[in-house]
Structure 1
Amino acid sequence: MTTRALSLIVVGAALALVTACSASVQGGGATISKTSLEQGIADALQKSVGQRPDAVECPGAIKAKAGETARCVLTAGSVRYGLTATVTSYENGKAHYQAQVDRQPMR
């Protein structure tokens, strides 16, 4: 990944990205799967800045309930950034959330 592409991802990702993904209903309520959350964040970044990160890794599924958060890691080239995904709403089987990428790379 070029430095320019990395810069585009980081600058675009520093802004809150609103996206939606399907949530599945399990015994404890509706959840956003780890895979769905990671893909949704990567898709939103690609749509927002025209570049897809090399990887987005989240620790696991989260509840599709407003206020639920997950700390994930975005990888662009050899640089990794922390990001926080926060569920903003859940309606009709779709969870809406924001992803806020940290301004500084991880050490």
Structure 2
Amino acid sequence: MHPRIRPVFLAACALALAGCSASVSVDKQVSKENFEKGISDALQQSIGKRPDTVSCPGPIKAVEGESMRCVLTAGGQKVGLTAKIGAVNGTDVKYNVQVDQKPMQ
């Protein structure tokens, strides 16, 4: 990612994802891989760009209100985020992603 795009991408993430949601298939939990992909998909849908990576510590229970801290990387900068499980409807889980306002030190 071009160095000048990095701050714009991070700022857009912080603004665009308040209340954003995405869906993934689950079997009582969202796998680590599906959770990370869903967060990246939500970012792309919200701001038109995907982060370089999203890293979460593991799977998350498909239970409304469950949340997990993850880290996205964009252009070499890391930014924390919180993803929270929203509505659960059968094998479809929606979640909200809130990206931190500032990059990690």
Q: How far did 1:23 drift? A: 1.0
Q: Give identity over the alignment, percent.
A: 45
Unaligned stretches of 5+ in structure 1?
Answer: 25-29
Aligned to 1:53: 51
Residues 1:22 and 2:20 aligned together: no
Q: How far did 1:3 drift? A: 3.5
Aligned to 2:7: 7
With normalisation by structure 1, the TM-score equals 0.88
What is the number of residues matched between the two proteins?
102
* Structure 1 consecutive aligned stretches of length 4 or more whose deviation exceeds 3 Å: none
Residue pairs, 1:1-107, within 5 angstroms: 1-14=1-14, 15-16=17-18, 17-24=20-27, 30-107=28-105
Q: How far did 1:51 drift? A: 1.0
Q: How far did 1:50 drift? A: 1.3
